[in-house]
Chain A
Amino acid sequence: MSVQLGMAIDLKRCVGCHTCAVACKIENNLPDGNWWNRTTTEGGDAQDTPSGVYPNLKREYITLACQHCANPACVRACPVGATYKREEDGVVFQDYEKCIGCRMCIAACPYTGVRQYNWEEPKHAMDYAVGDADVPAHQKHTVEKCTLCAHRLARGEEPACINACPADARHFGDLHDLTSEVAQLIVQREYRQLLTDKGTEPSIYYLV
């Protein structure tokens, strides 16, 4: 059976500390303004605010990045195949060299804001590049997003956000391998996925 890499993110363990988002930002040397992975508050009116009415309040965090869908809307939409699904591991990949900057994929992706366009020459807070040396250079006027740290996968490592999580809420592996930790968690725990009604079959599972 084919490999489909994915994540199981335990919302009961997530404390909303943003460490995964920052780990991603540094690992991939993301330009200013770009966040491939974000910690967002669900339900409240603003970040870090609870939902509900006092005293029945609830504060929940959800981390959002590319869902590496089994049926990705973006791949079908890209006119030049700059975004494609890798056969070997199911990662939805983005080729900066090919991207013509038409932003069709941004329009096609139902997951709000996970695809990000470099609206100018990438700028960085640091004068020097940070993160992994194998990360491809960011390019002006191209679309980018989470690659599941493809450069780390190539070395047999997990994405940077997984180990960075201090609450041990993030799990990574092959969803199709029923012996893997992620597949087991999905079997044992209740979970939800984002926007299942869009039929994209996301590979990110949120354990609730």
Chain B
Amino acid sequence: MTAQTAQSQAAPPSAAPEHRSKGQLIALIIAAVVALGGIALWVFQLAGGMVNTNMRNLDSWGIYIIFFMLFVGLSAGGLIISSVPKVFGIKGFGGISKIAVWVSICCTVLAVAFVVVDLGGPLRVWELFAYANLTSPLMWDIIVLTIYLIISIIYLWATLRAESGRSTAAALRVLSAIALLCAVLVHTVTAWIFGLQISHEFWYTALLGPWFVSSALLSGLALVLIVVVVLNRTGYLSLGQENLIKMARLLGVFTAVDLYFFGCDLLTSGFPGGQGGETVTLLTTGPLAGYFWAEVIFGIITMIIAFVPSLRKTSLILVASVLSVLAILCKRIQLLIGGFQIPNLDFASLSTGPDLSSGGQAFSSLGGSLIYFPSPLELGVVIGVLGLGVFLLLLGLRLLPLKPITRTTSDTADRD
């Protein structure tokens, strides 16, 4: 990327857009190929059976649901970054609103895609509308996620109209409020898929809803920062450093809140001992300790970068943002695998045999006790879905008028 940046900066301003557009086109094609590869693997998974994944009866959800949770969260940032300033009438983050919302829309589409690849019978999804069981948190999430996606698209459309003077600021403000409410709801409802299940001690906590919101804010904002920094480098955007610093500080605050919730939850689980105590051991010194400590350390590094003024350089802000997304990925891994890790009925023959995946058995034979690790097929499908995301993102940047309108001809003026 450094080479590309150097090239684009070295090129005369008039030739720059064409050059970028060519590189972007190549990236678009690569992303499309990766996405098609993912679809091929998914078809193989459906035809050959999900036995090719490493999910089994005792760990019946895996990396797809981990990424579903992650991407629902990532979708939050964009919408919140762009709607909060409008709703509360405060100063925004320098015209990145439209790009932020587009990132948000792409992430929501990916979240839906990750659920679809996890389904055993995707041809039966129509039943969700025909036989909707309204007591199911999964059904609530499908409803809220659909509304959320539609609202995000309307919101982007309304922003574009408002900019061209065909809509009022008041109308946009009302829509912002609805979008914000929807964003908070979608994360809470996603948490409820897990948090309302009395079957798993690790999941069953009232804190899970607010905690998902805080994790969503953190990872979502981090993703917006990553996109903004990269687009700043390529010249698509020219966001001032003061806006980056503002967002970086917010990133630090969200990290602190998220870790605070984690601390509260660990104490509540561990204090009475029992199965809750097992959960704490599982995270701090057990099979999931790597993910747990990675999350904590990434969080601490993010806070140091965010709160020490001299460290708030663009490159370090980018590092903090990447670490924040990784920290939340670690969080999701812990939550999902951890939830299935401790069986309620600890009978000898239940935790062995065909209910444990080959991945799980491999871990057992190595002396480990982790029950799940994704198979190559699962990783391939995940990469394919991510390719779809990059494709959508680039397509939007190419075809939609997402650049800030305040941008002048001297687009390199305030680049850092």
Which A residues lie at the B interface, using CB under 8 A?
33, 38-42, 44-47, 49, 62, 64, 73, 75-81, 98-104, 106-113, 115-117, 119-121, 140-142, 194-195, 198-200
Contact = CB atoms under 8 A, between A and B. Distances in A.
Contacts, number: 149
Given A80-B124, A117-B50, 11 more contacts: A73-B199, A75-B135, A79-B142, A81-B131, A99-B120, A100-B121, A102-B119, A103-B118, A104-B193, A108-B197, A121-B49
B348 A76 contact: no
B344 A80 contact: no
A47 B344 CA distance: 17
Given A100-B119, A108-B199, A64 B347 contact: yes
A100 B115 CA distance: 12
A76 B135 contact: yes
B348 A47 contact: yes
Contacts of B136: 76-79, 104
Contacts of A108: 197, 199
A116 B46 CA distance: 18
B138 interface: yes
A41 B120 contact: no
Contacts of B50: 117, 119-120, 141
Interface string B312-355: 00000000000000000000000000011001110111110011
A111 B344 CA distance: 7
Interface in B109-145: 115, 118-122, 124-125, 127-128, 131-133, 135-139, 142
A153 to B, nearest CB: 24
Given A79-B132, A120-B51, A142 B349 contact: no
A64 B133 contact: no
B233 interface: no
B200 interface: yes
B120 A64 contact: no
Contact of A41 (B60, B199, B349): B349
Contacts of B46: 141
B191 to A, nearest CB: 14
Contacts of B122: 100
Interface of B: 46, 48-51, 53, 55-58, 60-61, 115, 118-122, 124-125, 127-128, 131-133, 135-139, 142, 193-194, 197-200, 339-340, 343-345, 347-351, 354-355
Interface of chain A, helix or strand or loop or mixed?
loop
Contact of A80 (B56, B133, B194, B347): B133
A207 B122 CA distance: 43
A77 B131 CA distance: 13
A104 B140 CA distance: 13
A62 B350 CA distance: 12
Given A77-B197, A116-B57, A141 B131 contact: no
Nearest to A197: B198
A64 B350 contact: yes
B120 A38 contact: no
Nearest to B48: A120
A164 B154 CA distance: 63
Contacts of A112: 58, 343-345, 347, 350-351
Closest 9 CB pairs of A and B: A101-B120, A141-B120, A120-B49, A40-B347, A120-B51, A110-B199, A33-B354, A119-B51, A79-B139
